[in-house]
A and B are shown apart, each in its own frame.
Chain A
């Protein structure tokens, strides 16, 4: 079974600064997808960025980028130019790409609470 670990329960950053959230995962599969979701106090889980394991190039979405290290099974999220609206709980998630009995199941980490200071 796959596991996802987020070792930072809480992180803080000053507005306009850069912060990196860590995520490691354990899997024996070679094909999979990785996601970062953001959950503000409003509760809705919002997709921030995704990465296909077969792609060597790190995904980027505006101020959000990832550092995907497949051999190390590491998938960190970098937020540049942090804004007050970035404050939320961030979850790293894994999904198998090999079908079979793993259809659509997202495995989440424990989450990291990000505080942004003005």
Chain B
């Protein structure tokens, strides 16, 4: 049973460039969330996708955008990269839209380490 898979594992970009990170959810999951984790910090919520729509967004600028495909996989796009975007980007999947009465936990991938030069 494949877990959450992310690609690539590591990426190096320069300021001003654009990047796309990819995520395939755990088998049976249909909801994908993205988090940014700076070195030595806890993850920060970027946004969540369900049924190909962005359902909730954290405090991130519009440079961060995403997409979910019919097979539930997802992409995170970051435009006009800044040095401060250097971080580990984590994808998490879960089953169903996590509103009330859902105690289903999110399962995380290994992350993509993004370095901006």
Interface residues of A, Cβ cutoff 8 Å to B: 4, 31, 33, 35, 37, 42-47, 50, 52, 91, 93, 95, 97-111
Contacts and interface: CB of A to CB of B under 8 A. Distances in A.
Nearest to B31: A104
A26 to B, nearest CB: 15
Interface of B: 31, 33, 35, 40-45, 48, 50, 55-56, 58, 88, 90, 92, 94, 97-103, 105-111, 113
Contacts of A52: 103
Given A46-B108, A106-B92, 14 more contacts: A33-B103, A35-B105, A43-B88, A50-B103, A91-B42, A98-B99, A98-B100, A103-B50, A103-B56, A103-B97, A104-B98, A105-B45, A105-B48, A108-B43
A45 B108 CA distance: 6
A111 B41 contact: yes
A70 to B, nearest CB: 16
